[in-house]
Amino acid sequence: MRVISKSGEYGLRALLHMASNQENEGFFNIREMSEELDISFHFLTKILQVLTQKGILQSYRGPNGGVGFLKSPEEITLSELVRALEGDDFFDKCLLGLPGCGERQPCPMHAYWMGIRNNLKSEFETTSLADLGKNTRLQHLRLIA
């Protein structure tokens, strides 16, 4: 049950890293981040590119360039991040994946799943990137091979 895709995970790890080191620097060098987080540089670049395109990050090319937040991590919700990283329909899917989800003819899991889903949704909407990083230690973000 991989709720978040690999690229989504990488994106979150990078953002979490940025949020927890925000006091030090304004722009983050992607190469450095990729090394510290043990994520392929080019792959991470791609992922951060979409976050830039979606208006969550800003980027700067050239010497001392990098990516930085447009809003503060306190104002970025986990909800908008997974929507950006996993697609806008992230919270619309069925648990079992059965097609034609129906309020009309729901299976016995339907009400239960809708409950969990709405719960998840509101939890994600009220959790900020800053919240997420609060108790997170760096070793948690790195691969513990």
Partner DNA sequence: AATATTTAAGAGTATTTTGTCTTTTATAAA
Partner DNA sequence: TTTATAAAAGACAAAATACTCTTAAATATT
Contact 42, 111 (CB under 8 A): no
Q: Work out what residue 66 binds among DNA, ligand SF4, a copy of itself, none; the CB cut-off runs from 5 to 8 Å by kind.
A: DNA
Question: Site residues for ligand SF4, window 107-126 (CB under 6 A)?
Answer: 107, 109-110, 113
For residue 83, the number of C-alpha atoms closer than 13 Å in the C-beta half-sphere is: 15
- 59: which strand partners? 67
Contact 54, 76 (CB under 8 A): no
Q: What share of the chain is helix, strand, coil (3-state, %, to 5)?
A: 50, 10, 40
State which residue, 32 or 38, has the beta carbon closest to a copy of itself.
Answer: 38
Residue 1 tokens read as: 């049950």
The DSSP call for residue 90 is G
State which residue, 61 or 104, has the beta carbon closest to ligand SF4.
Answer: 104
Binding mask 23-62 for ligand SF4 (x = CB under 6 A): ----------------------------------------
By CB under 8 A, is residue 103 in contact with a copy of itself? no
Binding site for a copy of itself (CB under 8 A): 1-6, 8-9, 12-13, 78, 86, 90-91, 93, 95-100, 102, 105-109, 112, 116, 119-120, 123, 127, 131-137, 139-144
